């Protein structure tokens, strides 16, 4: 992979990782348009590894929150009074909510990197999940702030995150929708989505780095991976700040029309043979 392609894909990853439009779906489409083999193990690994850049952006952006949560969690392990701190509970909720994606992602790794790497799957994910986002905004009461988060909420939202293994669904779209369906307000749902992304994307990137190192070296090159990761970090950092301000004032349904339009355009391109599904 040349460095220009790595820069383009890094921009796509950074722009779409935290927006409810599916970063994997966009990366798969752009990789196909660039003439890359989307079912090649090295390309699949590249897609997962450059998410490290977006996660580093989250860690830096929320560094004070993360430090506070870790400190509260550590104190709570040894002090009963400290366990009444909401930060201690929130830290456990992030851990619990991350377990489903770890289990399902590992069990379905061959499916995710194989059969699901298909542009028809992206079309279905983009269009069908838009209906879930619409329903979440319509019926969610958005009456519960972050302080009212429960373990049940975290587990349900974590289960929804597993659906985002299907390209086109969107990890943030799945988790924010789940939060709204649990009547969390948009900011609380979005913040939890960011925190759940940290272990999920670190785990995916670390696994692909270790298991597909030879494939990356042979077909993509670690220089391209480094460039893509750096670019995704820069763009994702700007996206986080914008998204948090945006969701405080706007429903996630504003992204539905884009998702549906992209899905329909992609379906036409596939049907007419302009691009192949795999």
Find, among 101, 205, 116, 115, the residue nearest to 168 by Cα. Answer: 116
Backbone dihedral region for residue 168 (phi beyond 0: left; psi -120 to 50: alpha; all else: beta): left
C-alpha distance from residue 205 to each of 66, 85, 136, 198 (Å): 20, 32, 30, 11
211-229 pLDDT, tens digit each? 888 888 888 999 999 999 9
For helices 86-107 and 63-78, what crossing angle results, to 10°?
A: 100
What whole-number percentage of the chain has pLDDT above 70?
100
Host H or E run for residue 121: helix 119-139
Q: First and final CA of the chain: distance in angstroms?
A: 18
12-33 pLDDT, tens digit each? 999 998 889 999 899 999 999 9
C-alpha distance from residue 149 to each of 54, 97, 143, 185 (Å): 25, 12, 11, 10
Work out the average pLDDT over 238-256: 83
pTM here is: 0.89
Confirm if 22 and 16 have CB atoms less than 8 A apart.
Answer: yes
Host H or E run for residue 229: helix 222-247
Work out the average pLDDT over 125-147: 94
8-state DSSP, 21: T
92-126 pLDDT, tens digit each? 999 999 999 999 988 888 888 788 889 999 999 99
């Amino acid at each position: 992979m040349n460095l220009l392609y790595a820069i383009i894909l890094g921009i796509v990853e950074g722009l779409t990782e935290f927006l409810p439009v599916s970063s994997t779906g966009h990366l798969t489409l752009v990789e196909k348009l660039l003439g890359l083999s989307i079912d090649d193990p090295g390309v699949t690994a590249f897609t997962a590894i450059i998410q490290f850049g977006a996660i580093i952006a989250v860690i830096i952006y929320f560094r004070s929150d993360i430090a506070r949560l870790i400190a509260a969690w550590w104190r709570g392990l040894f002090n009963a009074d400290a366990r009444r701190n909401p930060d201690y509970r929130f830290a456990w909720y992030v851990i619990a909510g991350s377990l489903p994606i770890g289990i399902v992602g590992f069990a379905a790794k061959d499916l995710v990197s194989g059969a699901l790497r298909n542009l028809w799957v992206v079309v279905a994910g983009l269009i069908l999940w838009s209906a879930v986002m619409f329903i979440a905004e319509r019926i969610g009461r958005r009456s519960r702030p972050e302080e009212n988060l429960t373990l049940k909420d975290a587990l349900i939202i974590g289960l929804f995150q597993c659906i985002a293994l299907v390209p086109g669904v969107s990890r943030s779209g799945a988790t924010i929708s789940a939060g709204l369906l649990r009547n969390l307000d948009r900011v609380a749902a979005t913040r939890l989505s960011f925190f759940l992304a940290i272990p999920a994307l670190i785990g995916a990137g670390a696994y692909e780095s270790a298991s597909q190192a030879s494939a990356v070296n042979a077909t993509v090159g670690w220089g391209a991976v480094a460039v893509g990761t750096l670019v995704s970090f820069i763009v994702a950092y700007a996206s986080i700040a914008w998204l948090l301000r945006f969701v405080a004032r706007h429903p996630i349904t504003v992204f539905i029309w884009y998702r549906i339009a992209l899905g329909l355009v992609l379906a036409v391109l596939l049907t007419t043979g302009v691009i192949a599904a795999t």
